[in-house]
Amino acid sequence: EVQVVETGGGLIQPGGSLRLSCAASGFTVSSNYMSWVRQAPGKGLEWVSVIFSVGSTFYADSVKGRFIISRDSSKNTLYLQMNSLRAEDTAVYYCARERMRMTMVQGVGRDSYWFDTWGQGTLVTVSS
Amino acid sequence: QSVLTQPPSVSGAPGQRVTISCTGSSSNIGAGYDVHWYQQLPGTAPKLLIYGNNNRPSGVPDRFSGSKSGTSASLAITGLQADDEADYYCQSYDSSLSGRVFGGGTKLTVL
């Protein structure tokens, strides 16, 4: 069965650091695109970061320079290192496997990405 | 403000049909990027409902369907059931932001 399980959330003071983990089973993390998506209490979904199978990483502007996505192939685990945490980073953080397809639109290729496997999430609360 | 715009809420009686709209712009839906839909039941993680505009993953009933035209997309749910009550999110890719983007979510209430 394909699944991911997030751990590492908790209460952290503003300015602090926290590392989230996402253990995968049923598939290989390093062969897939993997993302972190967060949801603030009572709010909608916000994409945070992605790591491609080739290792390229991308971030939302709201976390760029503060968060680092990485993976450990030997443990089949995805990570999110969160530094300089702010109150607005308070959210449930979901790990998700991505799928991609390319379509041609008026002769131009368009890569589209979606999330087909989600974990149960881990809550990060940034508060003093 | 979300990059993709959805109505905050929709409602319908059991057995009825409802639609949820998702409006984007020329840098996301209008640029030809696919739209995907997720269902989030209360207290649970999101679940993929529709991918690539109109494709259902295995196990998703054919009561759920998606469509896309221009800078907008829609999710249609027919034969409404009580356990369809959930939050629904659209998602695409935005070339200006170079990232995945979501709609603000729509709460479906089954009357």
State how far the Cα of B35 lies from the Cα of B45, in Å rounded to an integer.
19
The predicted model gives A80-84 an average pLDDT of 98
Q: What is the DSSP letter of A94?
A: E
Residues of A in contact with B52 (CB under 8 A): 101, 112, 114
- CA-CA distance, B92 to A45, in Å (whole number)? 12
Pairing of strands A10-12, A122-126: parallel
Residue of B nearest to A99 (CA): B51
- Report the distance separating Cα A95 and Cα B62, nearest Å: 27
Please determine, for residue A106, whether its predicted confidence score (pLDDT) is greater than 90: no
User: To the nearest whole percent, how much of chain A has pLDDT over 70?
Assistant: 100
A10 neighbors A125 (Cβ within 8 angstroms): yes
Q: Are A99 and A114 in contact (CB under 8 A)?
A: yes
Q: Give backbone dihedrals phi and psi of A17, rounded to 5 degrees, phi first.
A: -125, 155
The distance of A25 to chain B (nearest Cα, Å) reads: 17
Lowest average pLDDT, out of A110-114, A117-121, B17-21, B106-110, goes to: A110-114
Give the number of residues written for chain A: 128
Residue A105: what pLDDT?
A: 86
pLDDT for A90 beyond 90? yes
The band of A67, judged by pLDDT with boundaries at 50, 70 and 90, is very high
SS3 A87: helix
* Chain segment B49-84, per-residue pLDDT in tens: 999 999 999 999 999 999 999 999 999 999 999 999
